[in-house]
Structure 1
Amino acid sequence: MLEIHPGSACEEALFKVISPLMPKVDPHISSCRVQVFPPEPKDSYMRALINFDGRLHLEAAKALEEIEGKVLPGCLSWQKIMCEQLFHSSLIFPAPVYHVIAEQLEKILANFNNLNGLEWNLNRTANGSHRLKITANATKTVAEVRRPLEELSRGKLIDHGSLPPAALQLILSREGISLKCSIQQETKTYIVFDRPSLNLRIFGSPEKIALAQQKLIQSLLSLHEEKQLVIPLRGRDLPPDLMKQVVKNFGPDLQGLKEKVPGADLKLNTRQQAIFLNGNKELKPRVEEITLEVACSSIHLVERLDTGPSCPVCLCEVEDGYQLEGCRHLFCRLCLVEQCESAIRNQGSFPICCAHTGCGDPILLTDFRTLLSNDKLDELFRASLQAFVASSSGTYRFCPSPDCPSIYRVADPDTGSEPFTCGACYSDTCTKCHLEYHPFVSCERYRELKDDPEITSLREWCKGKEQVKSCSACGQIIEKVDGCNHIECKCGKHVCWVCLEIFLESDECYDHMRTIHLSI
């Protein structure tokens, strides 16, 4: 609430004029604050500062229009109020983004030093992000200044038409993560991949972004080519003991298979339960054909021993065994770690459950903490969160700040929007249209204002014109040249020009004018 000092009649009078125009919010939250400064000995005027809640820009504008040219109680008739409006806006640059764009940001901010009526302030937040606050005397100035800054904060959306989705998603694999880190370090850029939308953004200077894009696309295509030379021995339509049968038929070094496919350089990966083919990829169909014959011949010979020493994942003898805390089933420790890493790469694998036949109990958090390092556990949590958001059918979304880990619940289309204040990057987001939060303004109207900063010029044109008013229902500018005081706005409402009261029908408006204003 407003702190009024004893004897500060001017502050009290200003607040009484402004407070009715403020929305009815929590009484513990201040919508505005009035401060009157004592005049200096040679001053011919008094100065006052009114701070409005940053989300109440429309209410603030109406309040200033209300007190402009007004004479407060206790003042002389010529002591009229003159208002000067200042508009604030802020942007958040997450720490990894700021690290690669700091030089560009410095150049943009240096150009702002020559703009009249503009001030800016860049501060580091508690979590390492940087918040840029802009202050200007016109919304058009704020919009023009924000444009290059928003482009910088969004990075460049990469056109990856040459990459098939399977190759693009390799960026989430162990090799892809290592590749991304290497390119980021080499090119001094920052790369963000949004799995649900398959969007890839790169932050940095234009020339470094171009270099990073070229290297990333080439590397992912090469990695995808390598992945195509893998013959899996584990899958939904394959017998669970296929790898055992392959080893039994061809030996652990696959010598028997190499003899059947001359020229094939084959290697068995027991951890991933797959055959890797190096060299001529034209030999892959023949290798797949032979392994399929083994699968068909062994599908009726599968013997599973529920109490035996074999690991339910690799179907081999348990090595470095680990017993799950919940269901007490025994696995190879490395097989469980691989199951977790596979879930990180393929986010449809959540929740992670026991692979023992007939079990399916979720693996407990205490097991993950024992099996995984802290870094790998963080990756698992992030992948789990991404899988949850992706499976929510649009109910939840990630914070729009680049690489921000926070999520919020999307507002119901039939209800008003609520603000989401991110605890990680401190940004305020509208949960309905997912832009900056804009209280008391519809999402459609805010998009218009955001896309058309020239609306400020229209407001300037309206000032001082008695024949120009705004519809109190939709805010549309109305100019009355002649005729009666009944106006029909473009929004369909009928308006009394004298008092701007709104009616649904024209007859209601005419009855009002005859009764209240005694004329039409």
Structure 2
Amino acid sequence: MFMVAYLEYDADWKAKRALERMERPNSNEFQGRKLDVTYQPVRSLQIGNLDLNTNEAGLRRFLPYPPPTKVTWGPHSHNLTAKQLEERAITQLRSHGTLIEECIPHPQKGGSRTKIIAKFSEAEAARNAVTPLVSIKLSVSSRILAAIGPQLDPLVDQIWRTDYVQIKSYKTLGKQYTQVRIFGQSREPVAKAKSAVEKLLAGQIATDGHGPITDPFYFRPSSKNFLNDLGASHGVFIHQDSRRSVLRLYGDHMGIERVESALVAKCAELREQSHTVILHPEALAFALKGGFRNVVAALGKDKVKLDIINTPKRIIVEGSAEDAVQVQKILASCTSSSLETQTAGLSNSEDDGELLCPVCFTPPEDPIKTFCSHAYCNSCLVSQCTFADSFPVKCLGEDAVCDAPLYLSDVKKVLSGTEYDDLLQTSLTSYLRSRPTEFHYCSTPDCDRFYRISSAENPRIFDCDGCLTSICTSCHQGPHDGHTCETNKALMRAAMEEDEKLTKWKKDHDVRDCPKCGVPIEKADGCNHMTCTSCQAHICWFCMKTLSSGGETYNHMQSVHSGV
């Protein structure tokens, strides 16, 4: 037997602060009972499982700061003894079907609750014996959840007021992943809430005005510090979604715009610093015979790279446009008539037995010999491995004729622990991308786990050990017990069509969402000062800005929009 108390606060932040403090370990036990404390939008808390002898003075002494302005009491849950309650519960359970074994009550700590476990002979009887509750858990990155907090909090309030669906996020300090639970009494509003939350979790994909920003620079491990610093300076979290080669942005609209502008500017800067010189057959022969050594001597090993793996063959110049022109001049000195003469002196050193690095075609610095007996500069082998985009990484010895896969034991000698791990991860990602009909990544944003795809005839559930979500390995959606993949897809399409109809209706009737709480507002007539009936926000209908009072709204409309 227990009571429920309702606490009202004069500000919403006070209610949430009190809730946060009562959720701390050992802070929700009162008079030997573990209290059920839930937030009730707006500015209220509900406290359940209170002892019948609890009074307001005693409760107020227990409650953390800030104190509530008002405490009201709910009715008693019942007037039965614990024994009578157990007997009634067991009788009700038996009325739903045949029990496999007798129900045995299990009193919980403090004696405030008793758990009864009932096992039925049929699953249908077990489902009928409980009050239906639709519940969905989404596993999310803790950093993403923190970044969308300002957008998620008003959404939680809105969905509770309009659809009576609750959204609860779990705080796991120091953990990479946490969970968001969405639950209510019927499927449709829960599915609608899930769609809204997932939209926030997906973030906004960074674009350059024509399409997603996909420059490879942004998806290298070495770029993470650059992106973290850029995001922090504008209050935006930037997530490298390397699986889809896009950047996801989380934050306010203005911050995201500034980050996108900075990313586009960086792309332009990278293009100015990187130039490609295509090698025609004669220039390629000149470079391979030793001409590339002239290029390295002129510009330095760090500025130029000879790419004879991809087509067309090329020299990549990381420098100014003048550097690229200098490379072209060196190559232009090669003509068909003089090629043999120009390369004769260059190849003498090789004929004399001098070993050349197959990347820079100069004598190896800090040499490392591979299993296939070709000597590389230590830095050149590191560069080849860290920038590899095809696997296995192959030896470039003998003018790339060797083509033997590099052994991991050789690679491990020159790469740092982080570089070695990144190479393995990049290799795995390349393998998975090349087999899209065999493997699929976990659907949780920022989760790097993957699973093998199963057929529609024999789907199975993948329980991700990284983010703890469950996925159907055939249709890649959440578990849909009792429905085939096709039926589940049809239900989801129907839900999306309803959302599209609602969006079109709102556009046709100029219905806008309150910028503070998200409740839809329709302007029938009158001036352009609107007051939200849900959160009482004062809104300028011209620009949808929220202000603190009606007078301030009228002054804003007159000064900014020259009218009311």
Establish whether residue 410 from structure 1 lines up as the match of residue 453 from structure 2: yes
SS at match of 1:272: strand
Residues 115-141 of structure 1: per-residue CA shift (max 9 Å, x gap): 685444322458421101122112223
TM-superposed deviation, 1:339: 0.5
Q: Following superposition of structure 1 onto structure 2, how do residues 380-399 of structure 1 map, counting pairs within 5 Å?
A: 380-399=423-442
2:374 corresponds to which residue? 329
Q: Judge conservation of contact 2:93–2:118 (CA < 8 Å) in 1.
A: no
Q: Following superposition of structure 1 onto structure 2, how do residues 90-105 of structure 1 map, counting pairs within 5 Å?
A: 90-105=137-152
Larger mean Cα displacement after TM superposition, 377-386 or 355-364: 355-364
2:46 corresponds to which residue? none
* Cα distance in 1 for residues equivalent to 2:94 and 2:428: 52
Q: Judge conservation of contact 2:462–2:470 (CA < 8 Å) in 1.
A: yes
Q: Judge conservation of contact 1:11–1:36 (CA < 8 Å) in 2.
A: no
Q: Judge conservation of contact 1:234–1:242 (CA < 8 Å) in 2.
A: no
* Cα distance in 2 for residues equivalent to 1:35 and 1:231: 80
1:355 corresponds to which residue? 396
* Cα distance in 1 for residues equivalent to 2:179 and 2:293: 60
Q: Judge conservation of contact 1:246–1:294 (CA < 8 Å) in 2.
A: no
* Cα distance in 1 for residues equivalent to 2:171 and 2:467: 11
Q: Judge conservation of contact 2:138–2:180 (CA < 8 Å) in 1.
A: yes
Larger mean Cα displacement after TM superposition, 102-111 or 137-146: 102-111
Q: Judge conservation of contact 1:10–1:36 (CA < 8 Å) in 2.
A: no
Q: Judge conservation of contact 2:272–2:320 (CA < 8 Å) in 1.
A: no
Task: Rate the CA distance shift 1:268–1:383 in 2: closer, same or farther, 3 A.
Answer: closer
2:511 corresponds to which residue? none
* Cα distance in 1 for residues equivalent to 2:490 and 2:276: 52
1:260 corresponds to which residue? none
* Cα distance in 2 for residues equivalent to 1:236 and 1:187: 51
Task: Rate the CA distance shift 1:453–1:238 in 2: closer, same or farther, 3 A.
Answer: same
Letter of the 1:253 partner, please give it. A
Establish whether residue 128 from structure 1 lines up as the match of residue 176 from structure 2: yes
* Cα distance in 1 for residues equivalent to 2:394 and 2:420: 16
Task: Name which of 183, 200, 208 aligns with 1:152.
Answer: 200
* Cα distance in 2 for residues equivalent to 1:331 and 1:238: 20
TM-superposed deviation, 1:308: 3.5
Task: Rate the CA distance shift 1:127–1:310 in 2: closer, same or farther, 3 A.
Answer: same
Q: Judge conservation of contact 1:11–1:35 (CA < 8 Å) in 2.
A: no
* Cα distance in 2 for residues equivalent to 1:341 and 1:455: 46
The count of corresponding residues between Structure 1 and Structure 2 is 388
1:272 corresponds to which residue? 305
Q: Judge conservation of contact 2:206–2:249 (CA < 8 Å) in 1.
A: yes
Letter of the 1:445 partner, please give it. T
Establish whether residue 422 from structure 1 lines up as the match of residue 467 from structure 2: no
TM-score of the two chains, using structure 2 as the length reference: 0.57
* Cα distance in 1 for residues equivalent to 2:106 and 2:272: 72
TM-superposed deviation, 1:448: 3.0
> Which segments of 5 or more consecutive residues in structure 2 lack a partner in the other structure?
1-85, 108-113, 307-314, 499-564
TM-score of the two chains, using structure 1 as the length reference: 0.61
Task: Name which of 191, 196, 210 aligns with 2:257.
Answer: 210
Q: Judge conservation of contact 2:293–2:360 (CA < 8 Å) in 1.
A: no
1:141 corresponds to which residue? 189
Letter of the 2:264 partner, please give it. I
> Which segments of 5 or more consecutive residues in structure 1 lack a partner in the other structure?
20-32, 39-45, 53-58, 68-80, 255-266, 457-520
TM-superposed deviation, 1:420: 1.6
Task: Rate the CA distance shift 1:317–1:171 in 2: closer, same or farther, 3 A.
Answer: same
TM-superposed deviation, 1:386: 1.4
Q: Following superposition of structure 1 onto structure 2, how do residues 496-511 of structure 1 map, counting pairs within 5 Å?
A: none
SS at match of 1:252: helix
Q: Judge conservation of contact 1:269–1:275 (CA < 8 Å) in 2.
A: no
Letter of the 2:403 partner, please give it. G
Q: Judge conservation of contact 1:156–1:201 (CA < 8 Å) in 2.
A: yes
1:185 corresponds to which residue? 232
* Cα distance in 1 for residues equivalent to 2:334 and 2:354: 24
SS at match of 1:392: coil
